[in-house]
Structure 1
Amino acid sequence: MAISLSKGQKVDLTKTNPGLSKVIVGLGWDTNRYDGGNDFDLDCSIFLLNANGKCASEKDFVFYNQLEGGNGSVVHTGDNRTGAGDGDDEQVKVDLAAVPAQVERISFVITIHDAEARGQNFGQVSNAFCRVVNEETNQEIIRYDLGEDFSIETAIIVGELYRHNGEWKFSAVGSGYQGGLARIATDFGLDVG
């Protein structure tokens, strides 16, 4: 039975699941109908952050054009451009035991591709969720349903895997941003110029 989290909640991952090292972080969403005439393309991006909350280099930014980071310990399984169908829309495989020591947090972000130009925002997105699955057993361990708290935002920091006293934990962040991926990337220390 998965632990269901609310915004702001944190939960142990490896301490309560001894031997767990390979997880899949699945993200999903539905888009509401609207007359903008443009398709929605939501994207998952992952930031590998050091103790200062920053990416040490561009290699610590994983997304649809750079599917691996952390020496192969974090792997984005590919871009889903439509969000059609049930279940996870995009997935990220994380080998917790292989994440480089300098990476203290792995932040999972969902953004709307080209949101400004298309006049799209998270007010038009529903049923967004993030879940953590044990890759070996395919058992869902954690689920975080984001709810309908967003309106004008074009990016959301959904959740984070982070180290604490040698163990991995998960935090349901649910923090919305305007300015899309560029704004978050800049906050995480990347030069997006």
Structure 2
Amino acid sequence: MAINLSKGQKVDLTKTNPGLTNIVVGLGWDTNRYDGGHDFDLDSSVFLLNAQGKCAAESDFIFYNNPTGANGSVNHEGDNRTGEGAGDDETVKVNLASVPGSIERIVFAITIHDAEQRGQNFGQVANSYARIVNEANGEELIRYDLGEDFSIETALVVGELYRHNGEWKFNAIGSGYQGGLASLVKDFGLDV
């Protein structure tokens, strides 16, 4: 049975699931009724962070145009341009045992493509969530529903996997940003 998290909660992942190696991080969302004349395209991205909380190189920023990182241990499974239908809209596969030791945190974010130009924000998004699934058997281990607390934000840091005493844990962050993907990229030490 999955553990349901609230914003700010942290939970053991590998300690409570011995032998867990391959996980799928599923991210999902729906758009509210929107009549702005533009498509509404949300994108997931991943930042592989070192001990200083920064990406060591551009290759540590994983998204639909750079789908693989961390020596192949983190794989973005592709861009869903509509978010329609039930289930995960975008997924990222992680082989926890193969993540290089220099990577301390794996941060998952959702941004709205061209949000400023299109007049879009997360106040127009509903039912957003992150979940972690054991790839071996399909069991949902962790679920974090983000709620409807956002209004003008154009980027969300959903949560992060992080190392603690040789084990992997998950932190439900749920922080919104203005400035879209560009502000996240800068915060994590990369040039726009």
TM-score, scaled relative to structure 1:
0.99
Give runs of aligned pairs for residues 67-86 of structure 1, distance below 5 A. 67-86=67-86
Secondary structure of 1:116's counterpart equals helix
Distance 2:125 2:58 in 1: 29
Give the C-alpha shift of residue 179 in structure 1: 0.1
Give runs of aligned pairs for residues 84-95 of structure 1, distance below 5 A. 84-95=84-95
Equivalent position amino acid for 2:153 in 1:
E
Answer yes or no: is 1:65 the counterpart of 2:69: no
Equivalent position amino acid for 2:102 in 1:
Q
User: How many residues matched?
Assistant: 192
Q: 1:147 maps to which residue? A: 147
Equivalent position amino acid for 1:64 in 2:
Y
Equivalent position amino acid for 1:132 in 2:
I
Distance 1:175 1:56 in 2: 23
Secondary structure of 1:59's counterpart equals helix
Q: 2:101 maps to which residue? A: 101
Equivalent position amino acid for 1:95 in 2:
N
Q: 1:41 maps to which residue? A: 41
Distance 1:39 1:8 in 2: 32
Secondary structure of 1:83's counterpart equals coil
Distance 1:158 1:34 in 2: 23
Equivalent position amino acid for 1:39 in 2:
D
Give the C-alpha shift of residue 21 in structure 1: 0.7
Q: 2:134 maps to which residue? A: 134
Secondary structure of 1:158's counterpart equals strand
Q: 2:166 maps to which residue? A: 166
Structure 2: gaps of 5 or more residues: none
Equivalent position amino acid for 1:23 in 2:
I
Give the C-alpha shift of residue 34 in structure 1: 1.8
Distance 1:118 1:191 in 2: 23
Secondary structure of 2:4's counterpart equals strand
Answer yes or no: is 1:8 the counterpart of 2:8: yes
Identity of aligned residues (%): 76
Structure 1: gaps of 5 or more residues: none
Q: 1:25 maps to which residue? A: 25
Give the C-alpha shift of residue 160 in structure 1: 0.1
Q: 2:191 maps to which residue? A: 191
Secondary structure of 2:186's counterpart equals helix
Distance 1:184 1:140 in 2: 28
